[in-house]
Amino acid sequence: MTDYFHSDADAPADDTGAFELPHDVSAERYVVGAMLRDGSVVDDVLDEMTITDLHVPKHEVIAESILRLASAGEPTGPIAVNDDLTKHGLMQQAGGPATVFELESYPSTASNAGFYARIVHNHAVRRRAIEGATRIMQAARSGDTDVTEVVEAARREVELIQTGRKKHLEMIWEGVDTTLEELAEKPDYLPTPWASIDRIIGGWAPGGFYVIAARPGAGKTLAVVQSAMKLAHTGVVAFSSIEMGKKELQKRLLANYGEVNQLMIRDHILGRQEWERMAGARSRLHGAPVWIDARGSVTVADIRASARAVARTGKLVAICVDYLQLVKGEGQDRRLEVDGVSRGLKLLAKELNVPVIVAAQLKRPAPQKGKQRALPTLADLRESGGIEQDADVVLLLERGIEEHARDLTVVAAKNRQGEEKQVTLRWEGEYARIVDRKWSPTALLDENEIRRQQ
């Protein structure tokens, strides 16, 4: 390819011999320029290569800035990138502001960015192969190195060539200063809708995988919907609603915000007072940045694609799914299929660094005598053992019966960052919502308060 602005002098010198390491400066400029012109192609580029595949150092620095901005939902144009580089003290390493504008003006189109990204990646693999082979030869020629160590070193080099993820391998002590600095700041947990739950799990953590599990009709959908609407105060939310359609979710939210009985909404028997409340509920609901994918059949890949699309509209703060066992997986064995879905959602949380909050189905309880049912356990999760392993937090919901019908017990059956406790919330099914119980000095007074409000 013909270079557009600079010669291959931009490329770093190599020490592998007289020959030049494989690279294509024009392809790199094409890729970086396309991302500067259209931030929506960042995901397409990352599907084909990693930022470290870029051979020219300044290209890597600029691309890292673009990725940083895109991950935060910010514009990725040259002005925003130059501002980001200046803020991080990287302008000199990037070659100055003119370099960014030059790359942005490089003749490139978004539709071809993935194609040129593959070219960049292929050259990077060849470079790693040459560099790895050189190090293997040096180790083999050294008479002081044990043969076993030579073989092990060769194996590690081959693994790095295959993965291309050298920067993902770090010493345990690297970055500890940053970790200590973060401890002096407020945790970046996002609050749940319930203060009593926050006291147990801290809130929704970026990159965390959260499972809210219940038996049919016990409130798992309400809990996930309320969580999504609460999170929408801080950014955009991607919601895959496999069980319920958008209209059904809207009716529940109107009942919640307007405090209008769901039965009146279902039967269309709204009086003047109810219509006034519904108008207020509509105002609260209007503009909420929760994007609904109500397809009845989706895979983890579909959820990921939807989340990436939502992230282009603003800062993605969470992904919600209702519910896990309805997500399509792979394989003939149902248990392995659900395990694969669970693992995929866990990896999605880490990849996009947002909490993934999913509803899950529990087994129906066995018939038993007496009023009170035994509280659910992790063993009640349907069709999977992987959910328990993958989740950072598992909240199990159980509704009370008869005089305790307003009680919703929440068991933190797994809590990776805290204690396994339980708390009782208040079930307001007529308004399609779950709320914290009002404090009372004694359990007796608390029960009287519940009965009075029924």
Predicted confidence (pLDDT) per residue in 277-319, tens digit: 999 999 888 889 999 998 888 888 889 888 988 988 889 999 9
Confidence of residue 450 (pLDDT cuts 50, 70, 90): very low
Least confident stretch, 115-129, 350-364, 401-415? 401-415
Q: Do 245 and 329 belong to one domain?
A: yes
Question: Between helices 25-37 and 57-71, what is the axis angle to 10°?
Answer: 20
Least confident stretch, 160-164, 229-233, 408-412? 160-164
pLDDT for residue 442 is more than 70: no
Distance (Å, whole) CA 230 – CA 202: 15
Q: How far is residue 8 from each of residues 13, 22, 30, 63, measured CA to CA in Å?
A: 10, 11, 15, 18
Distance (Å, whole) CA 62 – CA 122: 20
Report the pLDDT value the prediction gives residue 114, as an integer from 0 to 100. 87
Q: Supply the CATH number for residue 336's domain.
A: 3.40.50.300
Residue in 114, 92, 132, 140 with CA at minimum distance from that of residue 48: 114
Asked, for residue 428, whether it belongs to a domain, the answer is yes
Q: Do 276 and 423 belong to one domain?
A: yes
Confidence of residue 112 (pLDDT cuts 50, 70, 90): confident
Asked, for residue 393, whether it belongs to a domain, the answer is yes
Asked, for residue 15, whether it belongs to a domain, the answer is no
Q: Do 353 and 259 belong to one domain?
A: yes
Report the pLDDT value the prediction gives residue 78, as an integer from 0 to 100. 93
Q: Do 135 and 201 belong to one domain?
A: no
Domain-ending residue, one of 163, 186, 216: 163
Of residues 86 and 70, which shows the higher confidence score?
Answer: 86
Q: Do 136 and 253 belong to one domain?
A: no
Residue in 405, 366, 398, 363 with CA at minimum distance from that of residue 383: 363
Average pLDDT across the chain, whole number:
83
Q: What integer is the mean pLDDT of 376-395? A: 85
pLDDT for residue 250 is more than 80: yes
Distance (Å, whole) CA 391 – CA 208: 8
Domain-ending residue, one of 143, 163, 183: 163
Asked, for residue 7, whether it belongs to a domain, the answer is no
Contact by Cβ (8 Å): 47, 90: no
Q: Do 153 and 214 belong to one domain?
A: no
pLDDT tens sequence across 204-220: 999 999 999 998 888 89
Asked, for residue 182, whether it belongs to a domain, the answer is no
Kindly report the backbone phi and psi dihedral angles of residue 420, in degrees, each rounded to the nearest multiple of 5, phi listed first.
-90, 100
In the chain, % of residues over pLDDT 90: 37
Q: Do 202 and 156 belong to one domain?
A: no
Asked, for residue 37, whether it belongs to a domain, the answer is yes
Contact by Cβ (8 Å): 49, 18: no
Q: Do 115 and 213 belong to one domain?
A: no
Residue reference for tokens 């930022």 = 51
Both tokens assigned to 418: 């805290």
pLDDT for residue 395 is more than 90: yes
Q: Supply the CATH number for residue 80's domain.
A: 1.10.860.10
In the chain, % of residues over pLDDT 70: 85
Question: What is the domain count for the chain?
Answer: 2
Q: Do 203 and 278 belong to one domain?
A: yes
Give residue 382's domain range: 195-364+374-436
pLDDT for residue 397 is more than 90: yes
Distance (Å, whole) CA 8 – CA 14: 12
**What residues pair up with 316 in beta bridges, in sequence order?**
236
Q: What is the CA radius of gyration of the chain?
A: 27
pLDDT for residue 372 is more than 80: no
Q: What integer is the mean pLDDT of 351-358? A: 93
Q: What integer is the mean pLDDT of 59-79? A: 88
Distance (Å, whole) CA 436 – CA 451: 16
Report the pLDDT value the prediction gives residue 298, as an integer from 0 to 100. 87
Asked, for residue 359, whether it belongs to a domain, the answer is yes
Q: Do 258 and 152 belong to one domain?
A: no
Report the pLDDT value the prediction gives residue 454, as an integer from 0 to 100. 36
Report the pLDDT value the prediction gives residue 70, as an integer from 0 to 100. 84
Contact by Cβ (8 Å): 135, 153: yes
Q: Do 307 and 234 belong to one domain?
A: yes
pLDDT for residue 367 is more than 90: no
Q: How far is residue 232 from each of residues 307, 318, 352, 367, 422, measured CA to CA in Å?
A: 14, 9, 17, 40, 26
Q: Do 202 and 152 belong to one domain?
A: no
Contact by Cβ (8 Å): 373, 407: no
Asked, for residue 266, whether it belongs to a domain, the answer is yes
Of residues 109 and 450, which shows the higher confidence score?
Answer: 109
